[in-house]
Chains A and B, each alone.
Chain A
């Protein structure tokens, strides 16, 4: 280990004792596990709020010409739903997972720069609160969409205070995520235990390397875009010029495409870990997958213009080339996942169910992604419900399923208690039905001509029954998420009451180092009296079990030989 662990309980608190278990102990903690859990917990709470906004939208769109909410409110709903899910849920959750898991997986006692990490978390919380507080202002929250193109988002066309709060909130939250991304990357590069070479890093750590590289490389472009928007709100003449309008789009999407992969890789890698563990074998095609993540991250920096095919101001051939090229690294990742389960011995526990559903569902998002990366198809389907369906297959049917796989898989490590398997299965099936019922009809709606972000539609448009199906699906999603919340709260309550029963250090027979310590792990991750297992590959615990099994077999053989 490269950092000396201070003796437990002697953290510098400026002279005043802070009770470690108290709320102050939590919100000022420099323990990466607590910062990670705070981030994950905060993003899950915002996730529920954003889900409520989505349900309001699906109620409004369930039938033509409804007036559940007025158009101005509807615009706020989809703006905050999109902004919240992207800036405040899926991205921070991914980085929060990295904050919690990366030091454990590499055998480190802590994260690099823990105070900075904590600062990142608080900037994120502050940003989320600022953005949401827009609902409390007279004109309501920001209503310019999650990418807020000027001139619509300038002071003339969006005069409300909510827009200013949105800019400030997204800026702060993104700054926080950038800081956290830095410390996670620093940790995985510089804080690895002895023996943990780069090619012995778990797949999840590789995904965090790729994600953090994109965070560092691309997220500052969002800060620049937001700064441009802020300047334009101060001086309205800025956005009378086409240069700055199209310039904003370039800046924004330079961030806006890599962020999709930041919201994808960590969940993909969580799925990869789950697939390998519940297949009882090491992940197949490890090197190819690690390399493909890096290639993917590099290419992601060159594809932004495919969001601008219909602007008439982008080099469509070039962006189409780089976008379609992404199918190569994506195909390599699928090769690894499919190869893992084809040669496995599959245990269908809840995390595995979510991981298995991720494979075909995310694939729908990926394959339609190639379509929207093709200019002649994109001209028709961009800014329509086809794109809404595509991005929800990527981020919900894909990433959110990976998120739930991760939650079910790592909860026993984090809390020491298992989530209910029965409720988990119910959650899973409700979510599979709800996801596909909600988002599959949207492909047809977009194809038939329903633009995205419409507050309502006419009865003669012929969109009614597909929208109704989508809204019924949203009901399934609501119930499914409700079951999940009950499951989590129930388990946490049992833990608090001490009635949970102990899940043990390694309930799943997993492969990576976080399962070689107690559940939950001690303050500095690995107790001093318990040495790390030898790190012989990216699956050290599997190696250990295999050595023990072969050792036992050899022992039994020798015993048999000496007996004859």
Chain B
């Protein structure tokens, strides 16, 4: 879950800096309002500018901006580094208003879809510990595949394939959503992403439903 980790690092740092800047500015405003109120008879300053101080200040701002750009770009490249082993491939198709997940490498040509009405949400099954390459496209309007717990989303365009790779390190089930407004039932265009053990995933590709693998003994 590299996406979640990188997001966490960068978001924490930027939030901390933002909170610090906000508190400093708020303190300055409060200080001015309390200490420089007309009732306390302060003398208005006649200093129209402080160019030297301003130059240093701009220097600090520029240096911080340079750091932020470089560091976050580096984090972004870390996040998108090509996987060190061949990924499992899943074809994702968004449509108005649900998803279709196809497994091109599966012998049984497994393909899952649903109606996204009520509890009929399609499940995207992936193995734990192995990189999974999602190939996103759409057959009508633009959609966007978002897994909030993964802290990542990517748009699905018609006539275009976007890819990204994710690796889930433990078993579980998470909610996925459509993030790009795509019409009337946009709000309901949800799916599940389920990480299972590589063995169970293998059985899944052979056409066995999830959760039934252990009991088969013939």
A219→B172 CA distance, assembly (Å)? 48
Kindly state whether residue B185 has any CB partner on chain A within 8 Å.
yes
Which stretch (B105-113, B137-145, B195-203, B205-213) binds chain A?
B137-145
**Distance to closest chain B CB from A248 (angstroms):** 10
Which stretch (A121-129, A145-153, A166-174, A515-523) binds chain B?
A145-153
Please determine whether B7 and A377 come into contact, CB atoms closer than 8 angstroms: yes
A268→B82 CA distance, assembly (Å)? 45
Kindly state whether residue A334 has any CB partner on chain B within 8 Å.
yes
Which stretch (A111-119, A310-318, A486-494) binds chain B?
A310-318
**Distance to closest chain B CB from A308 (angstroms):** 9
Please determine whether A245 and B148 come into contact, CB atoms closer than 8 angstroms: no
Please determine whether A383 and B179 come into contact, CB atoms closer than 8 angstroms: yes
A359→B26 CA distance, assembly (Å)? 8
**Distance to closest chain A CB from B134 (angstroms):** 11
Contact of B146 among A157, A339, A348, A383 (CB under 8 A): A383
A312→B143 CA distance, assembly (Å)? 13
Please determine whether A281 and B58 come into contact, CB atoms closer than 8 angstroms: no
A281→B49 CA distance, assembly (Å)? 12
Kindly state whether residue A367 has any CB partner on chain B within 8 Å.
yes
Please determine whether A325 and B65 come into contact, CB atoms closer than 8 angstroms: yes
Kindly state whether residue B186 has any CB partner on chain A within 8 Å.
yes
Which residues 358-396 of A have a CB within 8 angstroms of B?
Answer: 359-360, 363-364, 367-368, 370-371, 374-377, 379-380, 382-384
**Distance to closest chain B CB from A407 (angstroms):** 22
In the complex, chain B residues whose CB is within 8 Å of the CB of A331: 57-58, 61
A324→B67 CA distance, assembly (Å)? 10
Interface size on B, residues (CB 8 A): 77
8 sample A-B contacts, Cβ–Cβ < 8 Å, listed by A number:
A246-B157, A279-B44, A320-B73, A344-B32, A376-B75, A380-B7, A380-B153, A384-B146
Chain A positions near chain B (C-beta within 8 angstroms): 71-72, 75, 144-145, 149, 151-152, 157, 240-242, 245-246, 279-282, 284-288, 310-313, 316-317, 320-321, 324-325, 327-328, 331-332, 334-335, 338-339, 341-348, 356, 359-360, 363-364, 367-368, 370-371, 374-377, 379-380, 382-384, 448-449, 451-457
Extra 16 A-B pairs, beta carbons < 8 Å, given A331-B58, A346-B32: A149-B141, A157-B96, A285-B48, A285-B50, A313-B162, A324-B69, A331-B61, A332-B57, A332-B58, A341-B33, A343-B44, A363-B22, A449-B149, A451-B146, A451-B178, A452-B181
Chain B positions near chain A (C-beta within 8 angstroms): 3, 6-7, 10-11, 14-15, 18, 21-22, 25-26, 28-29, 31-33, 36-38, 41-51, 54, 57-58, 61-62, 64-65, 68-69, 72-73, 75-76, 79, 96, 140-142, 144, 146, 148-149, 151-155, 157-160, 162-164, 175, 177-187
